[in-house]
Amino acid sequence: MMGMNMPQWGVWAMALGLGVFLVMLFSSVRRHHGVHRSLFSWPYSLWMIVFTVIPLFLVAYYAFTNKAGQFTMENFANFWDSNREMKMQLSGMGFDPAAMGMGARGTVNVDTLVYSLWMAFLCTIICFAVGYPAALFMADRDFKLGPILIVLFIIPMWMNFLLRTIAWMSLLEDNGLINTLLQQFGFKKLKLMYNSEAVLLGMVYNYLPFMVFPIYNALSRQDKKLSEAAMDLGANKVRTFARVTFPLSLPGIVSGITMVFMPSVTTFFIPRVLGGGNTEMFGDLIERTFLTADNWNVGSALSLIMMLLILLSITLLRKVDPEGEGGSLL
Amino acid sequence: MEQNNRLINLENISKEFDGTVVLSDINLYIRKNEFLTLLGPSGCGKTTTLRIIGGFEYPTTGRVIFDGKDITADPPYKRRVNTVFQKYALFPHLNVADNIAFGLKIAKMPKKDITQKVGKMLELVNLQGYEKRSVESLSGGQQQRVAIARALVNEPEVLLLDEPLGALDLKLRKGMQLELKRMQQALGITFVFVTHDQEEALTMSDTIVIMKDGRIRQIGTPKHIYDEPKDAFIANFIGESNIIRGTMPKDEVVHFCGMDFTCVDFGFEKDEPVDVLIRPEDIHIVGTDASQLTGVVRSVLFKGVHYEMIIDAGGFNWKVHSTVMAPEGSRVGLSIVPFNIHVMRLQKDALPEEAAP
Amino acid sequence: MTKFFKRFYLVLVLLFLYLPIAVLIVQSFNAGISRAKWEGFSFRWYEELFSSPTIMQALYVTLTIALLASIISTILGTLAAIGIHAMKKRPQAAMMTLTNIPMTMPDIVTGISLMLLFIFTQVDRGYFTMLIAHITFDTPYVILSVLPKLREMNRFSYEAALDLGATPGYALWHVILPAVRPGVVTGALLAFTLSLDDFTISYFTTSPLVQNLSTLIYSEARKGIKPTMNSLSALMFVTLLVLLLAVNYRSSKAEQAK
């Protein structure tokens, strides 16, 4: 059903990849008169070209073409105005969409994006506000249980995240544990599920360890002598924290923020389970556009926009922490 | 030099890394049973030269001839040379004996012979009884010995040593210098040694190759290089020196500090500008009446065996080593015998270097 | 007082993390189907779990994919790390960028781009394509686990082995591999758990006929969750906990041995 001239693209891309691979292989063998260790990475390079680079080019290809395979920017226009296609169809049939009260711009896509960014932002803030003190308390050298507790923070992540999210359902449902308890004590049932708050709760629950772990790492690696030196120089506890401990934990914070914000923006399961249909996020929109609406071109455009946003935020965060030394999981 | 005495021949070797020239036109032969040192400041190309002999780098142009055969393209494991690496590169997951036996096992030597050879090697490097020790538990000096044993046990015709003593402290280093020299003489094999330490080179070598900026500047015995450095760079690099600009008005006369001095050098053009080298120990402090130059002592340092004095004479601050001290501020006379005045042609590339701030 | 506050705070946060899991485990032993009412202790849902061919099939797919993907990506990634480590600056930077792409890419884009590739090349999505996808997202993590160990290694170890007569293959196996083994093990474990946990990428790269646990849970979640899912999660949680403790115990013992 896609454009007929499409296969050539793929064949060309693959031929190009293979060509580059062979040229590099040949020049490497020639230059080193035999086996050089850098050759060991060629299978991986080939794998990544075929299964990462080419697929990305495919996404880009669909994003910039229409169903007939011709170059177009229409998909991005459709992102901006979700009613655009319908309006064009109407005017194609001789109707005036404006006269029918349908001239306005369809804002669904942009709204979803803004909503996703807002939710991810809130989630990151909450994770930071909850996670930083936790990391700080655990990183205290005098607290012997710290290293054990941090493992306890990681363990839940080893459980399937869908199941973890579903577990919240049984707590929040109308007939769930919380409401049952409330009723038993004579309170009214609360509407806990199928709203933004529930989605936010699920996101914070899932991503909190991603915030705590890198901050803990950065804090516990800090030389205790530094804060002792600050106190020796006359800084009180608050100042020591503000001037020494906190600034030195910035790399951990940056990596925590990256690790929470990125999956938050792109999450697509949590809103569906805990938010019902009321809280569509950008990940859901992409999935729906591809699989339900079957519109690969607009879906690809949406994917590209999302990638762009992610790249942008990573670049911004890298500016704060150029070494990227926040430390990662494990 | 007879041709058949040459074990390794480097012919017109040059090497580029990503467009940067690190070696240009290296021509060098290494004789059997010789202790040859590649000496130069860091970045001069000495380690690259060694790695080309070892087979870890391949020259961009030129050939490596080993025992009459072209081995330029041979990988390291096909060459009859072994290397002692910077910081030793011992295998941390193997104990001392297994480290030393590594090459023998690859050569599929019978177990009995391996044990015997390893034992002998440990004896040679004074580490008897260390077979089962983890290499990480050894001191730097001991690791150094294991690295040497691991290379020597394969009975290479040439042992390459890449700044092997760099990580040791001064005292250990002196001891190892003597020991290496002893091993080389006892085993009768060729050592190619890389260092930036001129004293080390002077102590151990039969031949010193001085390199700078990817080129060979001078080849000779330690004594020859010390006494007859080809230019100011080498003179400065080897030993301590006073180098002063002068001219050659005629053969066996050199003019500097506004005076003519008798010397033993000849063959220069009339009034050719030259560098004059006088070693600090060759300047004698004499009474002001019997001297060639007179000056004031600016500073005195006691150096253990001798005093080091800076003496301002003839518009130049002379570094003088003497066992007799002249007090600071005193007027003294200086005298230099003609034989100790060494006249060198100017380096072609020295001028811009000196013009730079 | 502040000490008490700190501990109280940590307990609260941990409670938040473990409450749903605890509820889930308790419910898995509930005899009734209701999620709120306790109707007595029973193994009913565990029995149903093991007698459900769909779940068992999904479990089989999940485990074999995780195993195969972690083995293949460990080999691929370890070799790649060794190669990258030996490279000069510029190609090394290029390879690191190539490695960072899939790690910074949102899962959903990774999944979709691979789906497009498979549809485009007319490869039927299923077990094989899911395996490829898992290897693709696992391998960069293996590389990032192995590279630090290579950097810790003496630069000349490999050359020393060649110098002593080892061929590159022998040196790789007998010198480099033993030195980076901890990194390789970490990478393999990481790959295994990532693969076990993945939903988004699997979702786009398989067909409804070949489901792993995650995609099965997803399709079940739309229909309403059966209590068998509780027993499944309880089992998986306990298994992973035991695995993790075993690994930690092993590594702390190794530490003591040093």
- Which CATH number fits the domain B242-355, given the four candidates 2.40.50.140, 2.60.40.420, 2.60.120.890, 1.10.1040.10? 2.40.50.140
Residues of A115-132 as b/e, b for ≥16 C-beta within 10 angstroms? bbbebbeebbebbbebbb
Arithmetic mean of pLDDT, C27-39: 78
Distance CA B127, CA B137 (A): 13
CB contact, 8 Å: C169 with chain B? no
CB atoms within 10 A of CB A257: 23
C-beta atoms of C168 and A37 within 8 A: yes
Looking at residue A297, its amino acid is: N
Q: Could you tell me the pLDDT band of residue C234, with boundaries at 50, 70 and 90?
A: confident
Q: Whose CA is closest to C159, among B83, A306, B178?
A: B83
From the CB of residue C142, how many other CB atoms can be counted at a distance below 10 Å? Answer: 30
**Percent of chain B topping pLDDT 70:** 96
List CB contacts (< 8 A) between C114 and chain A. Answer: 51, 55
At residue C139, the pLDDT reads 95
Q: Is the pLDDT reported for residue B210 higher than 70? A: yes
The token duo for B159 is 């042992």
Please give the CATH topology (third level) of the domain spanning A108-320.
Answer: MetI-like fold (1.10.3720)
pLDDT at A35: 56
pLDDT tier, B112 (very low <50, low <70, confident <90, very high otherwise):
very high
Contact C155 B55 (CB under 8 A): no
Mean pLDDT, rounded, for C225-242 = 81
**Residue C97 is encoded by which pair of tokens?**
């960028």
Across all residues in chain C, what is the average pLDDT?
A: 86
Neighbouring chains of C at 3+ CB pairs within 8 Å? A, B
CA distance A198 to A200: 5
Tell which residue, C143, C69, C66, C61, has the closest CA to residue C102: C143
Which of B48, B51, B91 is the mutation pick for testing C, counting most C CBs within 10 A? Answer: B91
Question: What are the CA-CA distances from residue B39 to residues A111, A222, A241, B217 (Å)?
Answer: 70, 43, 53, 10
Distance from C149 to chain B by nearest Cα, in Å?
Answer: 13
- Residues recorded for chain C: 258
B18 with C170: Cβ contact below 8 A: no
Q: Give the closest of A130, A161, A176 to C13, CB-based.
A: A130
pLDDT at residue A13 in the model: 64
Rounded percentage of chain B residues whose pLDDT exceeds 90: 46
Q: Which residue of B has its CA nearest to C160?
A: B89
Which chains are within 8 Å of A by 3+ CB pairs? B, C
Residues of C with Cβ-Cβ distance to A171 under 8 angstroms: 19-20, 23
Please give, rounded to a whole number of angstroms, the shortest distance from the CA of A27 to a CA of chain B: 14
Q: Which of B298, B285, B262 is nearest to B333 (CA)?
A: B285
Reported ipTM: the value is 0.87
- Give the tens place of pLDDT for each residue, B49-88: 999 999 888 899 999 999 889 998 888 888 889 999 888 8
In this prediction, residues B226-247 reach a mean pLDDT of 88
Chain B hits for C159, CB-CB cut-off 8 Å, are: 54, 56, 76, 83, 85, 89
Q: Is the pLDDT of residue C17 over 80?
A: yes
Structure tokens at C258: 């040093």
Query: Which residues, numbered 49 to 68 in chain C, qualify as contacts with chain B under a Cβ-Cβ cut-off of 8 Å?
Result: none
* Domain residue ranges of chain A, discontinuous segments joined by +: 6-72, 108-320
Per-residue pLDDT of chain A (330 residues; tens, 9 = 90+): 343 344 455 556 667 766 776 776 666 555 554 556 777 888 898 899 889 999 999 999 999 998 888 888 888 888 888 888 778 888 888 878 777 777 778 788 889 999 999 999 999 999 999 999 999 988 887 777 888 888 888 888 777 788 888 888 878 888 778 888 888 888 888 888 888 899 999 999 999 999 999 999 888 888 778 877 887 887 788 888 888 888 888 888 988 998 899 889 888 788 888 887 778 889 888 998 898 888 899 999 999 999 988 888 888 877 765 554 433 333
B15 part of contact set with chain C, CB < 8 Å: no
Closest CB from B56, B88, B93 relative to C179:
B93
CB environment B265-294: b (16+ within 10 A), e (fewer): beebeeeeebbbbbbbebbbbeeeeebbbb
Question: For A286, which of C98, C101, C112 is closest by C-beta distance?
Answer: C112
- A48-58 residue pLDDT tens: 988 999 999 99
**pTM of the entire predicted model:** 0.78
Within 8 A of C22 by CB-CB distance, chain A residues are none
pLDDT tens per residue across span A126-178: 999 999 999 998 888 777 788 888 888 888 877 778 888 888 887 888 877 88
In CATH, the number for domain B3-227 is: 3.40.50.300
> Measured between CA atoms, how close is C158 to chain B, in angstroms?
9
Can you tell me the distance from the alpha carbon of B210 to that of B197, in angstroms, rounded to the nearest whole number?
Answer: 11
pLDDT digits (tens, 9 = 90+) for C123-177: 888 899 999 999 999 999 999 999 999 988 888 888 899 899 888 888 888 999 9
Measure in Å the smallest separation between the Cα of B18 and chain C Cα atoms. 9
CB B293 within 8 A of CB B334: yes
- Specify whether the CB–CB gap between B274 and B268 falls below 8 A: yes
CB-CB neighbours of C105 under 10 Å: 23
Spell out the residues 6+ positions from residue B241 whose beta carbon is closer than 8 angstroms to its own.
B235, B277, B278, B279, B280, B319
Cβ contact A159–C21 (<8 Å): yes
pLDDT at B160: 94
Residue C240 has pLDDT above 80, yes or no: no
Residue appearing with tokens 């701030």:
B357
Structure tokens at A168: 């919240």
Looking at residue B220, its pLDDT comes to 93
Contact list in B for residue C163 (CB cut-off 8 A) is 54-56, 76-77, 81-83, 85, 151
Nearest CA of chain A to the CA of B343: how many Å?
A: 45
Q: For residue B132, what pLDDT band results from cuts at 50, 70 and 90?
A: very high
Cβ contacts (< 8 Å) between C213 and chain A: which residues?
160
Per-residue b or e along C14-46, where b marks 16 or more CB atoms closer than 10 Å to that residue's CB: eeebeebbebbbebbbbeeeebbeeeeeeebbb
By the 8 A CB rule, do C233 and C55 touch?
Answer: no
pLDDT digits (tens, 9 = 90+) for B281-330: 999 888 877 778 889 999 999 988 889 999 998 888 999 999 888 889 89
Ranges of each domain in chain B: 3-227, 242-355
Full 3-state SS string of C107-157: HHHHHHHHHHHHHHCCCCCCHHHHHHHHHHHHHHHHHHHHHHHHHHCCCCH
Chain C residue with CA closest to A130: the answer is: C13
Closest chain A residue by Cα to residue B71: A33
Task: Flag whether pLDDT at C181 surpasses 80.
Answer: yes
Q: Has residue B356 got a pLDDT over 70?
A: no
Asked if C108 and A287 count as a contact pair (C-beta separation under 8 A), the reply is yes
State which residue of chain B sits closest to C154, comparing Cα positions.
B89
Structure tokens at A245: 């401990």
- Chains A and B form CB pairs within 8 A to the count of 8
C241, closest residue in chain A (CA to CA): A155
Average pLDDT, chain B: 88
Does B241 or C240 have the greater pLDDT score?
B241
Residues of chain B found within 8 Å of residue A32, distances taken between Cβ atoms: 58
Question: How confident is residue B27, by pLDDT bands cut at 50, 70 and 90?
Answer: very high
pLDDT above 90 coverage of chain A, percent: 21
